[in-house]
Copies of this chain bind each other. A is one copy, B any other.
């Protein structure tokens, strides 16, 4: 028999034979699900959720792997066989890296109520008997005597009115004129997640809420320093340093916006509004604000409230009256991107105690417990971005993204299925978890003394683990040694100590956490079981974790589309109790304890 299977949220469907596995059907569609074990049911990474329809009963493998989650429809795609029409949800963490971005860009479940509205403008043409100025004519036509017209709009108003013969669409933000455009022109907005490493841009139709195009780009400020502190230092120590950094990112965002517009068949002039989120340092450097006080204790932002500035003033080729809205910052190291993550992850709407992590070079952590909301930032370092790891790399084709050590065999999954080039964050985390679980390394991070293993080789000062042999991998050897393990320990200890401090502050035990939300690129790709295995996360069942992808980007889009969400962002920033870890007397002790891989 033939059935139809729908894959959500990708919106793809195909006819399938009875008895075909969901994994096989997905592969026929070109969907690359994680399947490190090759579909043998042992790696547990091809997790899907049957939303409707008939599949084969769960296998013992699945029961061991998934436990109670089966009741909610969770299955392993390699085990579940199609026995009727199916609707299958594929969570982003089950997709191989290269395909994950496809889940982005979908319209958000939000009723658009944007800052900018369209109004029909039908004016009588001027003549010797009607000598009103163009601006007064528009004010009268819109019946808005208090209409303000920013200088850049006034600079094109006369020509725009005449180009459209005094019949056009006026776009307004409150009582301010944003621009005059041809009747029928779409109102577009741009949402930007301004990361230390990467920029993400989303071109959104403000009326429908639809994301028309999205794209990422490297943050060109990297040329001036890899992390936030290096950039702050550049801005402080060079006379034009701050301006250099600002210009670099403005230029890159202008290019990104131009590219998005071109792909959607629009021009920058169609962008009427924009929302930008980033950590506090990125926020300040983008606006050209001083960062000296941000780089020195007590690390204060110049501004924590939401900022609204003219896009033209910052150098953007958008509609002449377009604004940039920057969401509020919480503290010097918990910025607008965390506020956006809180919005975009939906974690504020969850029941119970919710822990939220946005993992990056700095990891921001929020804990919602009852009426309280605590947040902190912790310097987890760039290990999970592949930096400071000997064979580490960014998540790019050829990066090992999944690792499974089974019966002495090391199974690797790489991005795009290319021959391994190095290890990206999720692969590094998997590898350490697998080495620890197999007893190859101790809880202190060293290789177990006296252990012999076919992939262990005596290195310079200490042994190293061979991830890929040169002779089996086109001459490219990939190894992992104690220093690499130590980098992971530092990163995970920073996160775990931050989590523990917040739990203590809220007075709840780790088992009382109902949901752990994990956001960010690495957060989407990591295997939570690896995270719990090495104690990076509290020891909770996998089903309590939700990996939400680029929630900051989603939050930026929500704030772009909804004035209510902007208000909510302001409330969040006001309500959060920021916890400065460096002055918590327990922090050092907790950090030291969290260094253990257990």
In the bound complex, CA of A287 to CA of B158 (Å): 14
Q: State which residues 156-200 of A face B: CB under 8 Å.
A: 156-159, 162
Contact of A131 among B157, B300, B309 (CB under 8 A): B300
Contact A303-B155, Cβ < 8 Å, known A298-B126, A580-B128: no
A149 partner residues in chain B, CB cutoff 8 A: 303
Binary flags per residue of A127-164, CB closer than 8 Å to B gives 1, else 0: 11001111110010000000001010011111100100
- Per assembly, the copies of the chain total 2
Q: State which residues 97-130 of A face B: CB under 8 Å.
A: 126-128
Q: Could you tell me if B155 and A290 are in contact, using CB atoms closer than 8 angstroms? A: yes
Q: Could you tell me if B127 and A298 are in contact, using CB atoms closer than 8 angstroms? A: yes
Contact A155-B293, Cβ < 8 Å, known A134-B300, A135-B305, A304-B136: no
In the bound complex, CA of A197 to CA of B578 (Å): 60
Q: Could you tell me if A157 and B297 are in contact, using CB atoms closer than 8 angstroms? A: no
Interface size class of A (residues with CB under 8 A): 35 or more
**Shortest distance between the CB of A298 and any CB in chain B (Å):** 5
Tell me if A64 counts as interface (CB < 8 A to partner B).
no
Q: Could you tell me if B290 and A151 are in contact, using CB atoms closer than 8 angstroms? A: no
A313 partner residues in chain B, CB cutoff 8 A: 151, 313
In the bound complex, CA of A304 to CA of B157 (Å): 13
**Shortest distance between the CB of A331 and any CB in chain B (Å):** 6
Q: Could you tell me if A157 and B302 are in contact, using CB atoms closer than 8 angstroms? A: yes
A154 partner residues in chain B, CB cutoff 8 A: 287, 289, 302-303, 307
A303 partner residues in chain B, CB cutoff 8 A: 133-136, 149, 154, 157
Tell me if A366 counts as interface (CB < 8 A to partner B).
no
Q: Could you tell me if A134 and B583 are in contact, using CB atoms closer than 8 angstroms? A: no
**Shortest distance between the CB of A178 and any CB in chain B (Å):** 16
A580 partner residues in chain B, CB cutoff 8 A: 128, 131
Contact A301-B159, Cβ < 8 Å, known A154-B287, A307-B151, A580-B128: no
A300 partner residues in chain B, CB cutoff 8 A: 126, 131-134, 158
Binary flags per residue of A568-594, CB closer than 8 Å to B gives 1, else 0: 000000000010100100000000000
Tell me if A292 counts as interface (CB < 8 A to partner B).
yes
Tell me if A83 counts as interface (CB < 8 A to partner B).
no
In the bound complex, CA of A155 to CA of B329 (Å): 16
A126 partner residues in chain B, CB cutoff 8 A: 298, 300
Tell me if A241 counts as interface (CB < 8 A to partner B).
no
A578 partner residues in chain B, CB cutoff 8 A: 131
Q: Could you tell me if B583 and A159 are in contact, using CB atoms closer than 8 angstroms? A: no
A305 partner residues in chain B, CB cutoff 8 A: 133, 135-136, 139
Tell me if A446 counts as interface (CB < 8 A to partner B).
no
**Shortest distance between the CB of A587 and any CB in chain B (Å):** 13
A289 partner residues in chain B, CB cutoff 8 A: 154-155, 158
**Shortest distance between the CB of A160 and any CB in chain B (Å):** 9
Tell me if A419 counts as interface (CB < 8 A to partner B).
no
**Shortest distance between the CB of A569 and any CB in chain B (Å):** 15
Q: Could you tell me if B162 and A293 are in contact, using CB atoms closer than 8 angstroms? A: yes
A156 partner residues in chain B, CB cutoff 8 A: 290
Q: Could you tell me if A131 and B293 are in contact, using CB atoms closer than 8 angstroms? A: no
Tell me if A288 counts as interface (CB < 8 A to partner B).
yes
A290 partner residues in chain B, CB cutoff 8 A: 155-159
| A residues whose Cβ falls under 8 Å from a Cβ of B | 126-128, 131-136, 139, 149, 151, 154-159, 162, 287-290, 292-293, 297-305, 307, 309, 313, 329, 331-332, 578, 580, 583
| Given A131-B299, A136-B303, A139-B305, 15 further pairs, Cβ under 8 A | A126-B300, A128-B583, A131-B331, A133-B302, A133-B303, A133-B329, A134-B293, A134-B300, A134-B301, A135-B301, A135-B302, A151-B309, A154-B303, A155-B287, A158-B293
6 A–B pairs (Cβ distance < 8 Å), ordered by A: A128-B580, A133-B303, A133-B329, A151-B287, A155-B288, A156-B290
